[in-house]
Structure 1
């Protein structure tokens, strides 16, 4: 494998059939049983909605709240995010075009993209305060002495810009001809920064929460953090499912999550021998074929979701149940990027602080343990998705249909689970 593709291809952390600690039959059977038992148990024991969204949580000590909200904390986080962004730019502009000696590719794909998962789960929506694009917007406004725009982004836009941004980034990672090259990363980063700052200049800082793909991505994952803010602004420790229940229903929410699910599914597909052979022999060429494959998998993922939610016969079901896909996406992200984060991220840090090129660290888990983690992550994500969907269903549907009306959602979760596990054993 060429060095220029090493980092991006390392993202394909899917175990192969011989890695699995149990046979594929038992993996499928166990996953199916877990979902079915969860569904039946919830139907019998969870007859009314128990999740309370942003009203839930135990307040953290006042000293913690003061420290978190202090101006010094905000400035330090903004400076840290901006310094990391400028350091990345410097390595892309001045460093060698070799990921073995330049930390920038691993920093983008491992330290940033994969690292947003543990950061958001452990610290809540912290990326919002680190986001260098917000800092650049504020600095630009101060230098030009322009007031913050008083018009909000159009409501119909919702998260659709984030969905498109995530699709563009996953194309760069999974389908572009040279995902780890300096030119590709600089082009993407430059174009993305200009577009985001232009939109913020028109609609203000409120743009980033929905229009910045990475802030939206981190914010959705942060819904499952045990730390969050109540509706009154208090920092709290909470049931992560309460945070998930508070996910705002906006246009493009389901599309954003289907892009995440579909791209990680394609990530697994791209590591199989069959698809590798297709890319090598396709008359269209590797990049067009990979692009069509990525779009097809995202499209199928979205179509399955749309069909199953429509079958619930709940008004606005596509938006109402989209939050249940967040833990599913999280399970896929853990399964696909655990190896990348634990090997390439330390390597990127070592290169950035001046250590010479050296071997990439070995994964912390043996193949069997890694495969077990992947299976558990996928199944756990789907079980949590079933719980979130069930609580929303008993709130929205009449009692006589609260359980039977969820059967399409159970079919959705089983379909996604079997598809995800199928890629683990392909």
Structure 2
């Protein structure tokens, strides 16, 4: 499963000294913050009501219930095939479609799809279709009134379970493991939707919540009045609701990618993680997530205290500014996985059950490792991390101007320093420092 879970180039792929990359990245964030202090002195980004409406044809398609149900039915059919292949297909991981479809195409591919097209998983989610089909049997949702109070905490737990499976569980590559996970995931979320209603998926399904957050950095958005618009990704991100649990979602994503990098270092493989067992991996994932949480809470609390904000809401007030950082880490860690190992999904899809079929004419293909070079991958990795943090600084600055317009700009410094720390640690772990 190391190929599936750790599709990142090594430190030797970096076409410039690591020290230069670290100093340059930290300087880029501090310089961008200084420029913001000088030139960005009042809120400049549009809010939830901004944007240019897309053509009527797009509006009709976005509002079409039959189209959405058709897409969900198609996604359900694909999911059923993947489940059957996981349980009855070839036993070898390198010949079974299911692990590659879940860990590479679905999980990693969700990032570019959502960044380009908006919250695609909300549209495609087959569990929504099953939930509606089961509603006559389950009756009205009795816990719907309690759902808003949960915020996005259920999604954070859902994501934590998945990344634990992806990065820690020793048998994660086994097709049967994938099949059991898909079944268990569907049962748990369908049961929760039966109690809380279909809105559960927006708050409890980790895949849908992550796709929706990613879409906040897309140029496509839906305003509060339901109109689909095109607007700046920065304005789109600023329209992210400050929900409970939002900070927990981004902390889980940052912590898991941090552990992904840590688990590939010589220090981990010859030391704390040498046993390669579930306990050491679980403790490592928990520790990385806890460190990210403590640093983020410390940065937001100090910034809020300096700005004389109420004690409670700081973490979720600034959580939207951490979303681009999480996206940057995700792109950096998994871009090569999607571009190189992602080819395996389409090769195996031509003969999913190993019967000798060639449905799409790709069964005899092999992965083209020359599709993208190591230098390009390394530059994308560094660029994604740095750009994600710079965008995060911009969003945090804009947010501070909105919630504490009279506070001195230096109040933002604790959060900016935390972002610098994330940058240096992220690049160091990314390239095996």
TM-score bin, normalised by smaller chain: over 0.9
Q: Which runs of 5+ in 1 are unaligned?
A: none
In structure 1, what is the equivalent of residue 246 of structure 2? 253
**Which of the numbers 303, 311, 318 marks the counterpart of 2:294?**
303
**Which of the numbers 326, 331, 336 marks the counterpart of 2:333?**
336
> 1:298-333: CA deviations, max 9, x gaps?
110111001111101132211100111100000001
**Which of the numbers 384, 395, 398 marks the counterpart of 2:402?**
395
| Aligned mates of 2:247, 2:370 — CA distance in 1 | 33
The Cα shift of 1:150 comes to 7.7
Q: Please say if residues 228 and 238 of structure 1, whose CA atoms lie closer than 8 Å, have aligned partners that are also in contact.
A: yes
**Which of the numbers 66, 70, 74 marks the counterpart of 1:72?**
66
Structure 1 residues 161-170 or 382-391, which shifts more? Answer: 161-170
In structure 2, what is the equivalent of residue 46 of structure 1? 40
The Cα shift of 1:230 comes to 1.1
The Cα shift of 1:409 comes to 1.1
Q: Which runs of 5+ in 2 are unaligned?
A: 352-357
In structure 1, what is the equivalent of residue 378 of structure 2? 371
Q: Secondary structure at the match of 2:72?
A: helix
> 1:266-314: CA deviations, max 9, x gaps?
11111112211125644xx622111100110011011100111110113
> 1:125-176: CA deviations, max 9, x gaps?
121010011111011125x384565823433311111111111111111110
| Aligned mates of 2:370, 2:204 — CA distance in 1 | 35
> 1:81-120: CA deviations, max 9, x gaps?
1111111111112112212111100000011000110110
The Cα shift of 1:181 comes to 0.6
In structure 2, what is the equivalent of residue 319 of structure 1? 316
Q: Please say if residues 4 and 104 of structure 2, whose CA atoms lie closer than 8 Å, have aligned partners that are also in contact.
A: no
The Cα shift of 1:11 comes to 3.3
**Which of the numbers 70, 79, 86 marks the counterpart of 2:80?**
86
| Aligned mates of 1:90, 1:123 — CA distance in 2 | 29
Q: Please say if residues 101 and 357 of structure 1, whose CA atoms lie closer than 8 Å, have aligned partners that are also in contact.
A: no
Q: Secondary structure at the match of 2:96?
A: coil
TM-score (norm: length of structure 1): 0.94
The Cα shift of 1:359 comes to 3.6
Closer, same or farther: CA 56–365 of 1 in aligned 2, 3 Å: same
In structure 2, what is the equivalent of residue 103 of structure 1? 97
| Aligned mates of 2:104, 2:241 — CA distance in 1 | 28
| Aligned mates of 2:266, 2:26 — CA distance in 1 | 26
The alignment status of 1:410 with 2:416, answered yes or no, reads: yes
Q: RMSD over aligned Cα, in angstroms?
A: 1.7
| Aligned mates of 2:274, 2:421 — CA distance in 1 | 30
Closer, same or farther: CA 279–145 of 1 in aligned 2, 3 Å: closer
Aligned length: 416
Structure 1 residues 362-371 or 224-233, which shifts more? Answer: 362-371
Q: Please say if residues 153 and 207 of structure 1, whose CA atoms lie closer than 8 Å, have aligned partners that are also in contact.
A: no
